[in-house]
A and B are shown apart, each in its own frame.
Chain A
């Protein structure tokens, strides 16, 4: 029975895979159906996981088994329920309270952490004496990092007209950005192709058994 169900499952997967691919020819009912099923499954997945992985262990279980020590959790629960009021236009304002707490918390944490990791540490990482290296590749590379970082930041500096001398760092900055975009372009191509490999591998191997 389980074997049969597995085969059915694989055919089901193949059906869905081909339905989505059919969009490449043109938009059609198979694609539309597959897409809507995807939306439905995805929503239910989130819901089930939220209930079983968070609400039950972190909230309800604590409240039901040890209320005396956990009654304080009633506050986030009420705030959470207030959040749901957003669904009703008249009570929408109620949801602003929990929203404000979430936004305030995230804002403060994001501010501290990104200032540390993306600002302070990045500055520290750029402060390197390029001449301490012995290999010419490292020396040139480190000098490129310093020039590129400074000019790149200058490109995003909006308080000065890029005229005369000030045109130079801005121009150099954009060149570095372009090289970097080129690199991410190449990597993106790589990523998208990988996804296709995965799907074709499934079709050829698991479904059609052309390869073992």
Chain B
């Protein structure tokens, strides 16, 4: 019973969408509109769920004194601060519980929430991903080695594209005569992107689209139930 009703709900919502796509007449469009609007509200609760379980797991780590538990206190403190600032004075144009907080904003140069966003969240987030530049460099030296025919093909294309997307490329190959202009690096790069790359990516798209149809069909018909979890 506990899994029959959810299966039925998934089926009904799927069918409403499918029918509305092919029958433009009322009332199907209205059903679809209602469903998609509900979707937005339910998914915002899902976000709440995600964030609260994160906090729950942090609390658990602190109370169990898990390794590095002290750092999780920092998680909670920064979470609390950002949350409280946001709720009290809002962010950007959005007013909070205490209004726009003009006085504080004047002293700080921005609302507290925005201040934290700009000077803490932004640098943290963008630096985190810039670490990857270093790993690419290290991998370039140690792992990008010519081996099999296939991987050589990959590496050679990569080299052409990397060169072709720099400002040097134009200079390097401008000596190639106009009749063979398509061999100039920037144009060769464009050619690779526009034709062979498009072909392969298109093959991936088409196969993946078939995969999506298969998976969606299984979900709507209730053949696939793994998303309900713990049903085994």
Contact = CB atoms under 8 A, between A and B. Distances in A.
A61 interface: no
A198 B48 contact: no
B30 to A, nearest CB: 11
B52 to A, nearest CB: 6
A177 B203 CA distance: 9
A204 interface: no
B interface, size bucket: 35 or more
B63 interface: no
A1 B41 CA distance: 41
A166 interface: no
The prevalent SS among residues of A at the interface is helix
B71 A32 contact: yes
A208 interface: no
A101 B209 contact: no
B7 A17 contact: no
B178 interface: no
Contacts of B106: 1-2
Interface in B70-126: 71-72, 74-83, 86-87, 90-91, 94, 96, 106-109, 113, 115-126
B82 A41 contact: yes
A55 B44 contact: yes
A133 to B, nearest CB: 12
A72 interface: yes
A111 B207 contact: no
B203 A149 contact: yes
Task: In the A-B complex, list the 8 residue pairs whose CB atoms are closest, starting with the nearest.
Answer: A152-B203, A148-B199, A182-B157, A186-B161, A80-B45, A104-B10, A48-B86, A40-B78
Interface of A: 1-3, 5-6, 9-10, 12-14, 16-17, 20-21, 23-24, 29, 32-55, 58-59, 72-73, 75-77, 79-81, 83-84, 86-87, 92-93, 95-112, 114-115, 117-119, 122-123, 125-126, 137, 140-142, 144-153, 155-156, 173-190, 192-193, 195-196, 198-199, 202
